[in-house]
Amino acid sequence: MADNTKKEIRHGEDRHQRERVLLGRRTHEWFLAQGWATRGGAWADRLRAVPKYVVSSTPGDLEWNSTVLKGDLVEAVSRLKQEVAGDVVLYGSGRVAHALIEHDLVDELRLMVCPFALGEGERLFGRTSAVKPVRLVGNRTVGTGIVRLTYRPVRDA
pLDDT of amino acid 57: 84
- Average pLDDT of span 9-27: 68
Q: Distance (Å, rounded) from C-alpha 111 to C-alpha 33?
A: 23
pLDDT of amino acid 71: 87
Query: Tell me: the pLDDT tens digits for 131-153?
Result: 999 999 999 999 888 999 999 99
CA distance to 22, 38, 47, 128, 150, per residue, from 43 (Å): 17, 12, 6, 34, 21
Is a pLDDT exceeding 60 seen at residue 16? no
Per-residue confidence band for 18, with pLDDT thresholds at 50, 70 and 90: low
- Average pLDDT of span 83-102: 90
Q: Distance (Å, rounded) from C-alpha 34 to C-alpha 24?
A: 16
Is a pLDDT exceeding 50 seen at residue 1? no
What is the percentage of the chain residues whose pLDDT exceeds 90? 54
pLDDT of amino acid 10: 39
Q: Distance (Å, rounded) from C-alpha 52 to C-alpha 80?
A: 11
